[in-house]
Amino acid sequence: MAASLFDKVWEAHTVRELPSGQTQLFIGLHLIHEVTSPQAFQMLEERGLKVRFPDRTFATLDHIVPTGSQVRPFADALAEEMTQHLHANCQKHGIRFFDLASGLQGIVHVIGPEQGLTQPGMTIACGDSHTSTHGAFGAIAFGIGTTQVRDVLATQCLAMAKPRLRQVRVDGDLAAGVYAKDVILAIIQRLGVKGGVGYAYEYAGTTFDRMSIEERLTVCNMSIEGGARCGYVNPDQKTVDYLRGRPHAPGDADFDRAAKWWLGMASDQGATYDDLFRMDAGAVEPMVTWGINPGQSVGVSQKIPRTAEVEDDSRAGHLEALEFMDFKEGQPISGVPIDVAFIGSCTNGRMSDLEIAADLVRGRKVHPRVKAMVVPGSMLVAIEAQKRGLDKVFQEAGFEWRAAGCSMCLAMNPDKLQGREICASSSNRNFKGRQGSPTGRTLLMSPAMVAAAAIAGEVTDVREMF
């Protein structure tokens, strides 16, 4: 019988059905970082338990790492303490740690793919909601809490209820200036921030088929912003090609066998879904969020919706967002002045993101009012970008070129908004206070749109800058 990738992966990883009706699911890859793991290791020790499969857990440092001086000890004593805890826990339990000294450090959802750890047909868990990113390879990947991090450390398993499956089908070509980020923002705008609760998403259709792996990572990354705990794209030849030669991918002698298994995990023709959503790629324009959740967005040529136009149960949230952002209903989003421009994060901090932004700023200058920064997603991204001279392009335009980390996506490090600043950001969340100032404001958009806003000093249509 025809099966979806989701069903195949779920079945291959099922240990048993639990009395609660949940499934005990084996986790093929466990990624940890400094923020959500220390308490898990503590709980493990309180129970006198060991890490069950230490070679299936990998660690990195990303949320709290400063992107300026990374000399140890860090200036922030709390950040230093968290780093030391992760070091000690990894050492004690025999876990590979991609720390700063390894030269391979970076945002957890950037280094997993980069190292070839993320592979099709796997289950992947991490104490971070953007773990959905890894679905770009055809993995079932989801975020978990710290108690569940403990469960994975102790048993390599989770107790999970099987979600329903929705196919999100997008067909057609994207117009010039429209990117993967715009596609996922448009999907979330249409389905709402809770539209995906209880679902896993399969992204299918010619638009995703034509996307690069890095573009698919951007799409899957924001599944959780639409309420879906995981989202995936079926593996294809691009997936296989991306993995060939990566440090943790299968070796040459076994690679073809691996590729066959990976491609065999893709959804069969005729697989069934609990729900289907369709969108036409040609209808998508560059998107900008204007509110306080990632569903509150408009196309760059559009105006902020009027409160009377929104559905009854969204009206209070609409008013709250207008008040917090200090925007007026019916106001065009284009022309909104910005103070800060941030390019980076697990959504858009990869090589192709930096290349697109660099092409736009080459030979131009950042608007004098704007503080602009580029934060590569990993040390390897930074090295590759420097090799291609992108750091110089950004610096000559007036951007700061910083070291790898989560940076201003969530501001658990020195990179923060001040006061009421408005930030054009390539990250994933525009929640109140998200970027470090309780009253700071975030406008989410593609890296190209951030670059355009940095130059213009205001939200502007990147299509007019080519």
Choose the stretch contacting another protein; rule: CB under 8 A; options: 20-28, 215-223, 231-239, 333-341. Answer: 20-28
Residue of 30, 33, 38, 267 that binds another protein (CB under 8 A): 38
CB of 353 to another protein, least distance (A): 22
Given the complex with another protein, which of 255 and 277 has the nearer CB atom?
255
Interaction with another protein in 334-353: which residues (CB under 8 A)? none
Question: Checking DSSP bridges between strand 96-98 and strand 29-32, what pairing results, if any?
Answer: unpaired
Interaction with another protein in 268-327: which residues (CB under 8 A)? 293, 313-314, 316-317, 320
Indicate the DSSP class of residue 429.
Answer: -
CB of 192 to another protein, least distance (A): 9
Given the complex with another protein, which of 431 and 466 has the nearer CB atom?
431
- The CA-based angle 145-9-226, given to 5 degrees, is 50
> Amino acid letter at 68?
G
Q: Is the distance from CB of 95 to CB of 61 less than 8 angstroms?
A: no
Residue at token pair 């539209």: 195
Q: Residue 19: helix, strand or coil by DSSP?
A: coil
Q: Enumerate the H helices of 232-276 as residue ranges.
A: 237-243, 252-264
Count of positions on this chain that bind another protein (CB under 8 A): 88
Choose the stretch contacting another protein; rule: CB under 8 A; options: 39-47, 332-340, 356-364, 369-377. Answer: 39-47
Residue of 151, 285, 353, 391 that binds another protein (CB under 8 A): 151
Interaction with another protein in 399-438: which residues (CB under 8 A)? 410-412, 429, 431-434, 436, 438
d(CA 239, CA 242): 5
By the rule CB under 8 A, 56 interacts with another protein: yes
Interaction with another protein in 90-129: which residues (CB under 8 A)? 119, 121-122, 127-129
Interaction with another protein in 352-391: which residues (CB under 8 A)? none
Distances (CA, A) of 68 to 32, 76, 258, 373: 23, 12, 40, 11
Given the complex with another protein, which of 3 and 159 has the nearer CB atom?
159
Q: Is the distance from CB of 405 to CB of 62 less than 8 angstroms?
A: yes
For the chain, the residue count is: 466
Interaction with another protein in 164-193: which residues (CB under 8 A)? 193
CB of 239 to another protein, least distance (A): 14
Cα torsion 51, 53, 54, 58 to 10°: value is -110
By the rule CB under 8 A, 81 interacts with another protein: yes
By the rule CB under 8 A, 22 interacts with another protein: yes
Question: Checking DSSP bridges between strand 297-299 and strand 287-289, what pairing results, if any?
Answer: antiparallel
149 backbone dihedrals φ, ψ, rounded to 5°? -60, -45
d(CA 117, CA 141): 12
Given the complex with another protein, which of 352 and 413 has the nearer CB atom?
413
CB of 143 to another protein, least distance (A): 4
CB of 185 to another protein, least distance (A): 16
Residue of 3, 7, 14, 236 that binds another protein (CB under 8 A): 14
Token pair for residue 137? Answer: 């390879």
Interaction with another protein in 194-233: which residues (CB under 8 A)? 194, 197-198, 224, 227, 229
Interaction with another protein in 234-263: which residues (CB under 8 A)? 250-251, 253-255, 257-258, 261
Q: Is the distance from CB of 105 to CB of 203 less than 8 angstroms?
A: no
Q: Is the distance from CB of 77 to CB of 96 less than 8 angstroms?
A: no
CB of 299 to another protein, least distance (A): 22
CB of 454 to another protein, least distance (A): 24
Helix (H) or strand (E) holding 204: strand 199-204
